[in-house]
């Protein structure tokens, strides 16, 4: 292994250890174990050092790929979490609306004036909701 190869590998191991210390990976113990193995292998100056360097470089590349994938997955999960929260809020609003409608119908009873007022109120709310849906629906 050349001095440059050794230096490059040591630098990459240091970077990986720092990321593990910052808990950038979910399996910190495994990452640190791989770094320790890399350091042990570097300590021996045997004829197989070049192939060991290649294996370690491959492992480091794969770990960096996994980290990138993890970041992407977390972004998707954040988006899904936001969507679930928005849907839950909309569902809760619909429940409140239905409960309010049931209470309003019960309060109106059979009084034609109260029933007409309730009908007018429902029409106004329905129109406002329809307008909001159209306004906030992205074009296909």
| Number of domains composing the chain | 2
Q: How high is the pLDDT of residue 95?
A: 84
> Are 51 and 27 found together in one domain?
yes
> Are 32 and 71 found together in one domain?
yes
Which range (2-6, 84-88, 127-131) has the least confidence? 2-6
Neighbouring CB atoms inside 10 A of 112's CB total 8
Which is higher by pLDDT, 131 or 2?
A: 131
> Are 24 and 59 found together in one domain?
yes
- For the stretch 80-90, pLDDT in tens is 888 888 888 88
Please classify residue 109 by burial: count the beta carbons closer than 10 Å to its beta carbon, then call 0-12 exposed, 13-18 middle and 19+ buried: exposed
- For the stretch 14-65, pLDDT in tens is 777 676 666 655 566 666 666 666 666 666 655 555 566 676 777 788 888 8
* DSSP string across the chain: --HHHHHHHHHHHHHHHHHHHTT-SS-HHHHHHHHHHHHHHHH---TTHHHHHHHHHHHHHHHHHHHHHHHHHHHHHHHHHHHHHHHHHHHHHHHHHHHHHHHHHHHHTT-HHHHHHHHHHHHHHHHHHHHHHHHHSPP-
Mean of per-residue pLDDT scores for the chain: 77
Q: How high is the pLDDT of residue 30?
A: 66
Q: How high is the pLDDT of residue 75?
A: 86
Q: What is the pTM of this model?
A: 0.41
What is each CA distance from 140 to 17, 89, 127, 137, in whole angstroms?
47, 24, 22, 9
Which is higher by pLDDT, 12 or 74?
A: 74
> Are 69 and 16 found together in one domain?
yes
> Are 117 and 61 found together in one domain?
no
Residue 108 has pLDDT above 70, yes or no: yes
> Are 63 and 103 found together in one domain?
no
| 71 and 25 Cβ atoms separated by less than 8 Å | no
> Are 49 and 8 found together in one domain?
yes
Q: How high is the pLDDT of residue 47?
A: 56
> Are 69 and 13 found together in one domain?
yes
Residue 139 has pLDDT above 70, yes or no: yes
> Are 36 and 57 found together in one domain?
yes
> Are 69 and 93 found together in one domain?
no
């Amino acid at each position: 292994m050349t001095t440059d190869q050794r230096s490059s590998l040591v630098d990459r191991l240091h970077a990986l250890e720092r990321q593990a210390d910052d808990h950038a990976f979910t399996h910190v113990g495994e990452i640190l174990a791989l770094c320790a193995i890399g350091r042990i292998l570097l300590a021996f100056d045997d004829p197989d050092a070049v192939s060991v360097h290649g294996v370690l470089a491959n492992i480091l590349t794969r770990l960096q790929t996994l980290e990138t994938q993890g970041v992407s997955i977390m972004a998707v999960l954040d988006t899904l979490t936001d969507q679930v929260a928005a849907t839950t809020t909309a569902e809760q609003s619909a429940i409140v609306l239905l409960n309010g409608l049931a209470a309003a119908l019960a309060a109106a009873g059979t009084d034609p004036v109260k029933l007409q007022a309730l009908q007018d109120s429902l029409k106004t709310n329905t129109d406002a909701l329809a307008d909001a849906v159209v306004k906030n629906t992205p074009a296909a």
